[in-house]
Structure 1
C-alpha cells in the first residue's frame, strides 16, 4: 500500500471522488421564503444525482486535510458500482488485512477499521442504487457499532473490575501471609511455653514423689519408734505393778 504524501489522508476502502480545494469564501445565502427560512427540495421517489450526493454527504461525510494554507476536501464517489467493483473491494480488503498484519481472531483495531471501511463502501454502493435501502443499511450499521461499543465498555469495565479484585486479592494475600507468620510465631512461642511447663511439671512430680517417699519412710520410722517406746513403757509398768499384786 502506497503511503500518502505529508498532509494527505491514508487510502481507504471507501471509494472517494476527486479531491478539490475548499474555497475560503463562504457561499452566498440561499434563496429563502418567508422569514428567511431555506426552501427544501421536493422529495422524489427517484432521487436525482445531486440529491444522491447530498444523501451520501450526510451519511458519509467528506474528509478534509491541510496542505500548506490550502484546505482540501474529498467527497465519496457517487458513481454506481458494478460487480467488478465488489470483487475488487474484496481483493483490496484481503490485501490490506495481510499488508497491515491484522489479527485473524480476537480484538484487533486494524481489522475493525478495515471492515468498517468495507461496510461504508457497501453502504455507498447500495445508497446510489436505492437511497432507502442504503439508509436502512446505515441504520443497521450504526446499531451494530453501538452494540460493539457497549460490549467494549462492558469489557473495559469488567477488566477494571477484575484488576481491582486482583489487587485486592494480592493485598489480602499479603495480609494473610503476614497474619500466618504472626500466628506461626505465636504458635511456636506457645509450644515452647508448653514444653517448659511440662518440664516444670515433671520436675515437680519427681520432687513430690521423692518427698512422699521420704515422708512415708520418716512416718514409718516414727511409728516403729513409738511402738518400741510403748512396749518398753508397758514392760516397765508391768514390772512396777507386779510387787504390788503380791
Structure 2
C-alpha cells in the first residue's frame, strides 16, 4: 500500500512541477531520486541486506548518470565549438570572397586602363608611322625629282659639251654610264 501511495504522489508531483516525459529533465530526475530514497528507506527498515544492495545499485546508477551527463556536456560543448568554428570559417570565407571580388574589380579596372593606354599608344604609333611614311614618300619624290633634274642637266651639259667641243657624242657615252 505504501508503494501505491508513493506511485500516486510521484505522478502528482511530476504533473504539478511540469516534468518532461522525454529527454533530460532535472525536475523528473530530482523527483525520481527522492522516490528511490523513500523506497530505499522502506526496504532498509524491513531488510538491511536488501537496503544495502539497493544503495549500491543507486550509487552505480548515479555514477552512470554522472558519466552520461559528462559525455552529454562534452558532446554539447564540442558541437558548440564546432558550430562556432564553422560560423567563424564562414565569416572568414565571406570576408575573403568580398576581398577577392574587390581585388578582381580593381584588376579588371586596371586591365581596362591598360587596354586604353595600349589603344592610345597604338594610335599614336600608327599616326607616327603614317607620318614617317609620308615623309619618306615626300623625300623619295624629292630625290626622284632631283635625280631627274640632274639627269636633264647632265644630258643638256653633255649635249652642249659635245656640240661645242671637239669630242663626239660616241666618245662621251662612256662618261654617261
Same fold (TM > 0.5) = yes
136, 142, 152: which one aligns with 2:59: 142
Deviation of the 1:167 alpha carbon: 4.1
179, 184, 190: which one aligns with 2:107: 190
* Structure with greater strand percent: 1
Q: Where does residue 208 of structure 1 map in the other structure?
A: 125
Q: Which stretch has the larger CA shift, 214-223 or 95-104?
A: 214-223
TM-score of the pair, normalised by structure 1: 0.57
Q: Distance in 1 between matches of 2:124 and 2:99?
A: 37
Q: Distance in 1 between matches of 2:124 and 2:73?
A: 75
Q: Distance in 1 between matches of 2:135 and 2:92?
A: 63
TM-score of the pair, normalised by structure 2: 0.76
114, 118, 121: which one aligns with 2:38: 121
- Greater RCO between the two (CA within 8 Å, min separation 6)? 1
Gaps in structure 1 of 5+ consecutive residues: 1-83
Cα deviations across residues 53-110 of structure 1 (Å, max 9, x unaligned)?
A: xxxxxxxxxxxxxxxxxxxxxxxxxxxxxxx222222222211111111111111111
SS in 2 for 1:160: helix
Q: Where does residue 223 of structure 1 map in the other structure?
A: 140
Deviation of the 1:165 alpha carbon: 4.0
* Structure with greater helix percent: 2
Q: Which stretch has the larger CA shift, 184-193 or 168-177?
A: 168-177
Larger Rg: 2
What is the aligned length? 163
SS in 2 for 1:184: helix
